[in-house]
Amino acid sequence: MKNLFIILFLGFFPFSLFTQQIYITNSISSADIVVYVTDNFWEADLCVMRVNNFGEAQGNDGYWYFTNTIVNADKQVYFTDRIEQVDLVIYYVNSISQVGWQNQLKKKLLR
């Protein structure tokens, strides 16, 4: 009965299971997402806040925890300086109120 409850709970709340534990890869071919960091807030698809604890990176809201081990990562990210080859443009923020998606169509990239 307990297992049935857990399965039902997870089935009703699948989006709460997403985390944003990021591993930075040096190879564009092994990356799940190619990312460009912009200096302009209005150009970003996602406003990201770096967090120090992986528990703070729950959800798909823009709180990123960078891990040193590929095994713990939810996504492998390659950072590039060329905006024309990217999947996602991000802007780093320091305020919780600024974190979030500006382009909802790109949200599926981190699921």
User: What pLDDT is attached to residue 110?
Assistant: 93
What lies within 8 Å, CB to CB, of 20 at 6+ separation is 57, 59, 60, 61, 62, 63, 64, 65, 74, 75, 110
pLDDT value at residue 111: 85
pTM greater than the 0.85 cutoff? no
Give the closest residue to 28 by CA, choosing from 89, 82, 92, 107: 82
For the chain, the average pLDDT equals 87
In the Cβ-directed half-sphere of 75, how many Cα atoms lie within 13 Å?
23
Candidate from 2-6, 62-66, 69-73, 100-104 with smallest mean pLDDT: 2-6
Which pLDDT value is given to residue 4? 43
Give the residue from 74, 14, 108, 88 showing the smallest Cα distance to 44: 88
Residue 15 Cα distances to 19, 43, 61, angstroms:
9, 26, 11
Q: Is 97's pLDDT higher than 70?
A: yes
